[in-house]
Structure 1
Amino acid sequence: MRRIWPFYPVIGVLAFFLGACTGSQEPPLPALVAMGGEGEVRFYRAQGLQGGTATPVGAWTTPGLQDLAYSQAFGRLYLLFPDRLEAYPTQGFTEDAVPQPSPTQAAFPSGVDCAEGYLRLGQNRLLAHCPRAGRAFLWNLDASGDLEEADLTGLPPGVRLALFPQGGEELLAYITQQALGYRPVQNPSGTPSLEKPLDPQASQGPYDLRLDRPQGRLLGLAATLAEVRLYTLEGDSLSSRKVLGDFPQESRLALDPVGGVVVYGRGFQVLLPRESPVQQEYRTYAAGLVGQDGYLYLVQGQTLEVYDLVPSPPLFLRNQGLGFSPTSLAFIPVE
């Protein structure tokens, strides 16, 4: 078994993932990589992508698709459209077949347009943020019940959102150009809540906000005029550091509890399992994924790059054409 890094000391989490963790030094983990974009979702064998075969094993036509996300705990693939959410059970997925069962749907209220929206997974719920509409909604990850609308009072239009579990409750986490914090979903002035000013304050973005569940901390990306900065809220302490190179551009985070943490945009930089210098700093990546298998998948236009994260710096494996330009990726372990 590949080494598990001390950054993830939570024993229960490690026990859950230990059987799936493979990396470059172990038998491959059977899995699919789902890629969404241009009105479709294509599914590829992860081992095939690592070996240089970018032939999909299945494809769904999904007009208007905005984003996708996968929950291993609930065994569902979630798709976001401008007017609705869809949840698909994945129990019948294999490395060679991807049936498209009838989804469970949850429609947004009349008049809500979630074009350019995105999804974030929580512990038990899914967050759909619709920035153009200035609204956000939560849905149970088991695809039961109705949508619950989050109260975004006081948050500026450019906010990025995530879900932050604490004390048996899932809170609304947010990052703006001024602050990073969290608060109850429907009670902006309620408790538990915390807000910390960004230092240095951002003048561009924010670009992304993600939950690092094993560490119980929030990771946010924004930029000053000179550099992209990673803001980390852990406990009641907020720290920041420069990531990537100079001349900041829109950036994103890709992370997996076992696979690692990567920031990408204009180039990419591995933060965990072992920090690397900035890589490929003259390329701009639109989508990225860190798999449980310890591989990094990055999309530049219609090209996919695959890296092994075990060595430091990461080992480049493959560069292959996809024939379309995906904007969202998900890693789906299968039987």
Structure 2
Amino acid sequence: MVLIWHGVDEIPTDFGPTAVTIGNFDGVHRGHQQVLATLKSTARHSGSRSVAVTFDPHPAQVHRPDTAPDLIMGIEDRLAAIAAHGVDAILVLHYTLAFAQQSAEEFVRGIFVDALRASHVVVGHDVRFGRGNSGDLATMEELGARFGFEVVVVEEFTEQASAAEARAGASLADGAAHSAQDLDDDAERRRCSSTWVREALDAGDVRTAAEILGRTHMMHGEVVHGAARGRALGFPTANLAHDSVGHIPADGIYAGWLVDQSGTRWPAAISVGSNPTFAGVARQVEAHVIDRPDEAPEAFDLYGQRVAVEFVDRLRGMVAYRGPEALVDQMKLDVDQARRVLAGVGSGA
């Protein structure tokens, strides 16, 4: 069981020695996963316990709330994703402007040395910490020599950036999902980052996002009542509440999965957008479960459930049709294409 502490006062006084890493870990992408794997290996070989230190809220939301990027995942999903990589403990630090005023030395001494009794600190080359991000790798190594911990530097994890990276979710003509091997052999390699994931999602390119994340991108939220237009057209949808967590990809139609609160994964055609055919305004994420069990509709009532929606591939952009009949014809095509795409990738997470 992974221990989760919300503040240094929750850390047992006899916990340690530890191997520690620090980061925002938004998305827990493949670069983060490499850091966590190095952390575990370092802890195992040094006879210490592995601890990942992260922040809530994200520092950008505190320093520049008006321009901070949308987070890839919420804090609960982030902690679950970190925990899934087998660390012994996670320390969540409440980030405030007052907290940010600590010098680099004050931060390291208070968290790594006094609270966690760190014997090793695992970081990337670009680590920054302390007031105004004044601390860097050289600072960490100098503090390590002074306070008695070893600094382990993780090499950057890169992924091939395809020449088609800006494809903005072009549809799959053959209905088969692409894999990492489909990227051009001579494509430029790019450092895996949360920024790159957001760029891909904002372009609707959920396949590239999945390659960086090492899994499909998902959102979590409660299913709420909508305008019931989908049901009237023969395509009932599960509408996510507007306070759902997870980065919303570009408007369009996607093939993906809906995971209900029992853990059952249902194939789905997912709509993201403002329903332009009906002059909608607010963006909505709604999932139509393909081939749902109509023989017992009362057993498939998702209202009030907290579900996950996973995005496998973008089928097309959002289009305003001349009327409901044209929209229904297109929705039939979308469902058929989503069914083919999902049949090619299986139902694994």
> Fold-level match, TM-score > 0.5?
no
Structure holding more helix per residue: 2
The TM-score range, normalised by the shorter chain, is under 0.3
Question: Which of 1 and 2 has greater Rg?
Answer: 2
TM-score under structure 2 length normalisation: 0.24
Judging by fraction of residues, say which structure has more strand. Answer: 1
